């Protein structure tokens, strides 16, 4: 058993601001912009206003093919760059997955500005959790908590439906609920270094309670998002271009950069595995998912790969957390049994949360995949490709095998518990 080195360590000081972590956690400090005010970008905003109806009429591609290539050079504030990223994320997935079968080419009016905007934010040029959730909401009341879904609204959806809005709002509320635990666990790491078991115990108890509340929010998915609607109408638009041979994209998508330039690219789609909050919770508990979702003998595994789909500053924050995380080691080595008990309680709550996630995925993806896809759906997409796939081979929008990945994540969480 390693000896406790806490007395030799200086106090931890983590300034959250450079990492883009605010009092709202990984949600922005200020509400996301609802519109780019510069008239130069008005053609983008007009299409965003009409997006659901354009997709319903299968006329989105026609509209975009008339667009000229706009430069991101007139964007200034971070919120403007995030707004541009959101718009181009929705454009990308709308163009690829509009009814009638996927487009293997993304026109330069989307790909040229998107490559620049994505690079600026340290993100890939595809729809990610950040674009669909973190930067895609507003509050109905300035004083209301962002963890209360009734006080939130979503800025944009593919389908114009309450179901899709609710689907994103659940994630926003979960992120907000989890935000309060970040400073608490940073203090706990500091307390572990200076051997203050009562502080670490209290923090772990709060952690367990916070994760329980996040799980309660996740269960609320059932209230206003219908499983069949999610599966057939929403999920196809969230799919990426990686591991999508079965959905009609054998080579991914060609990002046309004009004048014969461009390249084939493959990206995972929007996935909750791209939530920095969930990965933060794992890191502070010392839960290891090294090979989750990876084939045997390959590293680093799906969850680690998903960090490339997080804003660059959030990715750096998680790397920094990994370098200082000490709670599990402290719980293992301290003589104070209340610490290890509180630690195991926190691990148990994380396992329960992952069980809730498996139940949601079963209800929203596994069960509908065994039912007939409505004949109104025309052309290949993820819903059609997934129907009749065996449960083990069923892929998520992120491109990984769903149930094996989720079960392994849960089992690895349970394995973190101390004897």
**C-alpha–C-alpha distance, residues 67 and 52, integer Å:** 18
> 397 near 382, Cβ under 8 Å?
yes
Helices (H), 259-366: 276-285, 302-305, 312-324, 327-333, 337-361
3-state helix, strand, coil in the chain (%, to 5): 60, 5, 35
357 known member of a binding site: yes
> What distances in angstroms separate CA 406 from CA 82, 364, 403, one per listed residue?
30, 14, 5
**C-alpha–C-alpha distance, residues 182 and 416, integer Å:** 20
Residue keyed to tokens 């620049």: 116
> How many angstroms from the chain centroid is the CA of residue 72?
24
Rounded CA Rg of the chain: 22
**C-alpha–C-alpha distance, residues 80 and 40, integer Å:** 13
Tell me the β-bridge partners of 25: 22
Q: Which two tokens stand for residue 231?
A: 């599966």
- Positions at the binding site for heme b: 357
- Positions at the binding site: 357
């Amino acid at each position: 058993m390693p000896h406790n080195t806490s007395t030799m360590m200086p106090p931890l000081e983590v300034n959250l601001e450079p990492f883009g972590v605010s009092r709202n956690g990984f949600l922005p400090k200020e509400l996301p912009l609802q519109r780019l005010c510069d008239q130069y970008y008005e053609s983008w905003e007009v299409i965003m206003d009409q997006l659901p109806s354009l997709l319903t009429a299968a006329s989105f591609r026609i509209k975009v093919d008339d667009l000229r290539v706009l430069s991101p050079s007139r964007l200034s504030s971070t919120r403007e760059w995030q707004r541009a990223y959101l718009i181009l994320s929705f454009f990308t997935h709308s163009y690829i997955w509009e009814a009638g079968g996927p487009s293997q080419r993304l026109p330069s009016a989307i790909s040229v500005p998107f490559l620049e905007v994505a690079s600026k934010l340290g993100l890939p040029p595809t729809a990610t959790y950040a674009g669909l959730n973190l930067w895609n909401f507003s509050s109905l009341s300035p004083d209301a908590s962002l963890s209360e879904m009734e006080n939130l609204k979503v800025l944009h959806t593919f389908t114009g439906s309450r179901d899709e809005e609710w689907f994103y709002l659940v994630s926003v509320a979960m992120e907000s609920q989890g935000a309060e635990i970040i400073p608490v666990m940073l203090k706990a790491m500091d307390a572990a270094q200076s051997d203050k078991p009562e502080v670490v115990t209290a923090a772990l108890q709060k952690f367990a309670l916070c994760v329980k509340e996040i799980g309660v929010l996740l269960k609320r998915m059932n209230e206003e998002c219908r499983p069949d609607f999610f599966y057939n109408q929403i999920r196809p638009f969230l799919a990426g271009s990686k591991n999508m041979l079965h959905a009609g994209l054998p080579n991914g998508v060609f990002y046309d950069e004009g004048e014969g330039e461009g390249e084939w690219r493959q990206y995972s789609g929007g996935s909750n595995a791209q939530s920095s909050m969930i990965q933060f919770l794992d890191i502070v508990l010392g839960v290891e998912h090294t090979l989750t979702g990876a084939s045997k003998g390959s590293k680093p595994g799906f969850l680690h790969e998903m960090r490339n789909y997080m804003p660059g500053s959030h990715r750096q924050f998680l790397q920094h957390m990994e370098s200082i995380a000490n709670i599990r080691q402290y719980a293992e080595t301290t003589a104070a049994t209340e610490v290890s008990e509180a630690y195991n309680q926190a691990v148990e709550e994380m396992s329960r949360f992952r069980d809730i996630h498996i139940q949601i995925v079963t209800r929203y993806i596994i069960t509908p995949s065994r039912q007939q896809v409505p004949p109104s759906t025309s052309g290949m997409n993820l819903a059609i490709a997934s129907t009749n796939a065996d449960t083990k081979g069923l892929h998520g929008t992120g491109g990984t095998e769903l149930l094996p990945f989720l079960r392994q994540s849960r089992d690895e969480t349970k394995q973190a518990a101390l004897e």
